[in-house]
């Protein structure tokens, strides 16, 4: 539904049910414990007012000013008090000393940038989401520590909030020279492409629900992301690494500082690594030991993460460095100090992931389905009272479902769920069976008054999919989502519920199109990855009965490929050429990059002499004609208003 089709109803207050639930939590958890506040403030050196960062054109990229409402000591009724506490802790921002010669930029993004001083300059660990954020962080560091060159970049894993700002740390000449180490875990680029490029458009839209980007920052809207405040929106670029860490025990001496690495694949990211700095006795566990229960399957989507492996890697880290590490820091949240505290936190996090895995699998093997498992699970009291195990980001109620999916998939073995009707068609049948929309809404209103929000949401969702223009259904479902959001301890849940409510009331917000990849990103992909990206854009109905074989010769890289379109699938072979190709294309990789980035066309490249084609050049136009484009915006809480391109 578009913005012109709906009104702009204001958020409602918390219901009596929500107030009661939030007040009860205040007596159940140890809110008098202020150790995290002390740790979050420790080592503060300086900051930028409100952490405000703007682009070169003056567009805001990041600011904490809209979150000033979090300065109030007590949580309002519309925010879960445990989440409010986490949101306050994520407000600390600026340059902090971890130990002498090791610093962090925190609160300039959802993630941290860690800075390790070497003999000649500074080693940057992770580069935030945006170029503007990374540059602002370095400038703040230079202000207090003196201008030091960046002598290396270490990127712990391939999520965008850790590599997106790398061009803010390295200049074009730095990258082209290849003289500055860019150190990443094995398989880094493969997984970066699969998450950010192949499935990027769908993840972008789903991430809006996870992070609540279009929600107001207020007690009625977005207050936090659990893992940090929110996602920065600015310029990003991929840079190819030049040094891979392959195995646990690998060491590097970078600018005079020794790094000991531990591989942790299949955990928070498919490719992830930890490191220890013996010189400073600092252990960095990247994103695998943070001040919350992490996601095993984020709302934006990803490969399901392996909690069993996660637990084992934390156990291994404790074995390798427990008793040696005096400080534990990560690429989110704040550090902790003291050998005993470090060991305790790692041990509790280890057991958190093992508990979730083992108990989910145990109940699964008794035949319980995901929705039944989460009702049966109870966290151990020893973990329930530890703030860093709370579900601000990855809640046990969706992490258990992810574990089930990892082992058994989407199908619960009930044949009734094997081939269900599409959402809109099923909604119409459900509403018919319920005696019509008005009857269903009347019953839902009664349950809403009783605080039975979970079932009301299920029922009214069916009505909205059956009758997307039914204002009574939309309004009551929005009110229901809102109350569920106000109760949620998980920031992800709150954001999803409240954005669902907003879109029911106001429609899907207009967003800039997400079809084009930046030229710098395309150039950073291997050619095989670029072909994979194009293959995922083939519109099958348009490619029906189309067949072509194209030879590609890249004069600058020496690569050769056969690209084949057949049976509505785009496939390729590297290092070979076909004798019977429809056309042979000779060009540089850069020319192909500009075509894919839509800065030129194959026809224009032929006219300019930068692309030479022997054979039927018309096949290139046919190839481009069957490739899909994506807006990055589609309906989620109501039927799709646009059909998949045909």
CB–CB of 326/342 below 8 Å? Answer: yes
- pLDDT at 1 exceeding the cut of 70: no
Per-residue pLDDT tens for 577-600? 999 999 999 999 999 999 999 999
- pLDDT at 69 exceeding the cut of 50: yes
**Residue 386 structure tokens:** 């530890």
* Residue with the two structure tokens 């997984």: 191
Asked whether residue 431 falls in the same domain as residue 347, the answer is: no
Asked whether residue 49 falls in the same domain as residue 140, the answer is: yes
- pLDDT at 644 exceeding the cut of 60: no
State residue 16's pLDDT score.
Answer: 97
Distance CA 103, CA 113 (A): 8
State residue 4's pLDDT score.
Answer: 39
Asked whether residue 378 falls in the same domain as residue 428, the answer is: no
pTM of the predicted model as reported, rounded to 2 decimal places? 0.94
Residue 31 falls inside a structural domain: no
Mean pLDDT over 92-102 rounds to 98
Per-residue pLDDT tens for 258-289? 999 999 999 999 999 999 999 999 999 999 99
Distance CA 270, CA 119 (A): 33
Name the pairing type of β-strands 182-185 and 243-245: parallel
**Residue 194 gets which letter from DSSP?**
I
Residue 168 falls inside a structural domain: yes
Residue 202 falls inside a structural domain: yes
**DSSP secondary structure of 371-399:** HHHHHH----HHHHT-GGGS-SSS-HHHH
Last residue of a domain, one of 506, 540, 560: 506
CB–CB of 604/572 below 8 Å? Answer: no
Mean pLDDT over 518-544 rounds to 93
Residue 547: CATH number of its domain: 3.30.1050.10
The crossing angle, in degrees rounded to 10, of helices 437-449 and 471-487 is 30
Sequence length of the chain is 646
Mean pLDDT over 181-193 rounds to 94
| Residue-number span of the structural domain to which 264 is assigned | 36-396
Mean pLDDT over 454-483 rounds to 98
State residue 515's pLDDT score.
Answer: 53
Distance CA 19, CA 400 (A): 27
Domain count for the chain: 3
pLDDT above 90 as % of the chain: 90
Nearest alpha carbon to residue 105 among 152, 144, 77: 144
**In which band, very low, low, confident or very high, does the pLDDT at 512 lie, cut at 50, 70 and 90?**
low
The contacts of residue 218 (CB under 8 Å, 6+ apart) are: 66, 69
Mean pLDDT of the chain: 95
Asked whether residue 128 falls in the same domain as residue 242, the answer is: yes
Residue 204 falls inside a structural domain: yes
Asked whether residue 502 falls in the same domain as residue 524, the answer is: no
Distance CA 506, CA 504 (A): 6
State residue 509's pLDDT score.
Answer: 81
Distance CA 218, CA 567 (A): 52
Asked whether residue 461 falls in the same domain as residue 581, the answer is: no
**In which band, very low, low, confident or very high, does the pLDDT at 631 lie, cut at 50, 70 and 90?**
confident
Q: In terms of C-beta density within 10 A (0-12 exposed, 13-18 middle, 19 or more buried), how is residue 180 classed?
A: buried
Mean pLDDT over 477-487 rounds to 98
End-to-end Cα, the chain, rounded Å: 22
Asked whether residue 375 falls in the same domain as residue 427, the answer is: no
Distance CA 557, CA 553 (A): 9
Asked whether residue 450 falls in the same domain as residue 532, the answer is: no
Distance CA 554, CA 629 (A): 26
Residue 426: CATH number of its domain: 1.25.40.880
- pLDDT at 197 exceeding the cut of 60: yes
Helix (H) or strand (E) holding 552: strand 548-554
State residue 641's pLDDT score.
Answer: 82
Per-residue pLDDT tens for 292-350? 999 999 999 998 999 999 999 999 999 999 999 999 999 999 999 999 999 999 999 99
State residue 643's pLDDT score.
Answer: 57
User: Between the CA atoms of 318, 320, 326 and 330, what dihedral angle is there, to the nearest 10 degrees?
Assistant: -70
Per-residue pLDDT tens for 7-22? 567 899 999 999 999 9
Residue 415 falls inside a structural domain: no
CB–CB of 133/165 below 8 Å? Answer: yes
Last residue of a domain, one of 476, 506, 536: 506
Taking every pair of Cα atoms in the chain, the longest distance, rounded to a whole number of angstroms, is: 77
Residue 53: CATH number of its domain: 3.60.15.30
Residue 17 falls inside a structural domain: no
Distance CA 217, CA 68 (A): 9
Per-residue pLDDT tens for 351-372? 999 999 999 999 999 999 999 9
Burial call 338-364: b when 16+ CB within 10 Å, e when fewer: ebeebbebbebbbbbbbbbbebbbebb
State residue 8's pLDDT score.
Answer: 63
The crossing angle, in degrees rounded to 10, of helices 453-466 and 437-449 is 160
Asked whether residue 364 falls in the same domain as residue 440, the answer is: no
Last residue of a domain, one of 506, 540, 569: 506
* Residue with the two structure tokens 């954020």: 133
Residue 226 falls inside a structural domain: yes
State residue 488's pLDDT score.
Answer: 98
**DSSP secondary structure of 153-165:** EE--SS-HHHHTT
Asked whether residue 120 falls in the same domain as residue 228, the answer is: yes
Helix (H, G, I), strand (E, B) or coil at 571: strand
CB–CB of 114/51 below 8 Å? Answer: no
Asked whether residue 54 falls in the same domain as residue 159, the answer is: yes
State residue 2's pLDDT score.
Answer: 43
Asked whether residue 165 falls in the same domain as residue 214, the answer is: yes
The contacts of residue 274 (CB under 8 Å, 6+ apart) are: 156, 261, 262, 264, 283, 284, 285, 286, 288, 313, 317
How remote is the C-alpha of 617 from its chain's centroid? 41
**In which band, very low, low, confident or very high, does the pLDDT at 143 lie, cut at 50, 70 and 90?**
very high
Name the pairing type of β-strands 548-554 and 583-587: parallel
Residue 411 falls inside a structural domain: no
- pLDDT at 3 exceeding the cut of 50: no
């Amino acid at each position: 539904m578009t913005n012109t089709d709906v009104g702009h109803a204001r958020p409602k207050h918390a219901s009596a049910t929500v107030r009661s639930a939030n007040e009860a939590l205040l007596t159940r958890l140890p809110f008098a414990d202020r150790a995290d506040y002390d740790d979050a403030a420790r080592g503060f050196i300086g900051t930028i007012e409100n952490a405000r960062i703007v682009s070169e054109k003056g567009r805001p990229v990041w600011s904490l000013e809209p979150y000033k409402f979090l300065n109030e000591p007590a949580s309002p009724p519309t925010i879960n008090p445990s989440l409010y506490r986490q949101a306050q802790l994520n407000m600390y921002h600026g340059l902090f000393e971890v130990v002498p010669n090791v610093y962090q930029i925190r609160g300039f993004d959802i993630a941290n940038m860690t800075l390790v001083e070497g003999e000649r300059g500074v080693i940057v660990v992770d580069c935030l989401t945006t170029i503007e954020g990374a540059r602002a962080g370095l400038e703040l560091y230079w202000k207090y520590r003196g201008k030091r060159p960046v002598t290396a970049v270490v990127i712990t894993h391939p999520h965008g909030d850790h590599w997106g700002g790398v061009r803010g740390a390295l200049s074009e000449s730095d990258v082209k020279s290849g003289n500055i180490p860019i150190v990443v875990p094995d398989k880094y680029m493969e997984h970066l492409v699969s998450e950010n490029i192949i499935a990027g458009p769908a993840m972008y839209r789903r991430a809006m629900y996870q992070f609540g980007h279009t929600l107001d920052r207020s007690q009625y809207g977005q207050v936090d992301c659990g893992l940090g405040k929110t996602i920065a929106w600015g310029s990003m670029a991929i840079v190819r690494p030049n040094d891979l860490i392959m195995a646990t025990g690998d060491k590097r001496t970078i600018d005079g500082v020794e790094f000991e690495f531990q591989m942790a694949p299949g955990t928070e990211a498919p490719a992830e690594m930890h490191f220890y700095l013996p010189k400073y006795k600092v252990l960095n566990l990247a994103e695998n030991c943070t001040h919350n229960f992490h996601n095993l399957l984020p709302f934006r989507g990803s490969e399901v993460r392996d909690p069993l492996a996660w637990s084992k890697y934390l156990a291994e880290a404790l074995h390798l460095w427990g008793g040696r590490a005096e400080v534990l820091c990560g690429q989110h949240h704040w550090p902790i100090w003291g050998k005993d505290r470090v060991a305790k936190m790692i041990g509790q996090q280890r057991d958190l992931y093992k508990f979730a895995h083992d108990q989910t699998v145990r109940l699964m093997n008794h035949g319980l389905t995901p929705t039944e498992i989460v009702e049966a699970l109870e966290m151990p009291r020893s973990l329930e009272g530890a703030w860093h195990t709370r579900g601000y980001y990855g809640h046990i109620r969706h992490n258990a479902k992810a574990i089930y999916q990892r082992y058994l998939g989407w199908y619960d073995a009930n044949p009734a769920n094997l081939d269900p009707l599409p959402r809109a068609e099923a909604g119409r049948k459900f509403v018919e069976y319920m005696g019509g929309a008005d009857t269903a809404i009347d019953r839902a209103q009664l349950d809403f008054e009783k605080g039975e929000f979970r079932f009301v949401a299920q029922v009214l969702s069916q009505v909205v999919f059956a009758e997307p223009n039914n204002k009574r259904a939309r309004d009551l479902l929005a009110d229901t989502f809102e109350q569920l959001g106000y109760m949620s301890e998980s920031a992800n849940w709150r954001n999803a519920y409240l954005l669902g409510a907003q879109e029911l009331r106001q429609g899907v917000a207009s967003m800039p199109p997400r079809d084009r990849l930046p030229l710098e990103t395309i150039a950073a992909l291997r050619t095989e990855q670029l072909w994979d990206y194009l293959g995922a854009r083939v519109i099958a109905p348009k490619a029906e009965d189309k067949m072509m074989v194209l030879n590609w010769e890249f004069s600058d890289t020496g690569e050769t490929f056969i690209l084949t379109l057949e049976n509505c699938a785009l496939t390729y072979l590297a290092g070979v050429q076909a004798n019977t190709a429809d056309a042979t294309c000779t060009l540089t990789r850069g020319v192909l990059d500009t075509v894919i980035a839509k800065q030129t066309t194959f026809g224009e490249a032929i006219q300019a002499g930068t692309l030479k084609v022997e054979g039927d050049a018309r096949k290139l136009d046919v190839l481009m004609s069957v490739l899909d484009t994506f807006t990055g915006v589609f309906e989620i809480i109501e039927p799709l208003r646009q059909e998949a391109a045909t």
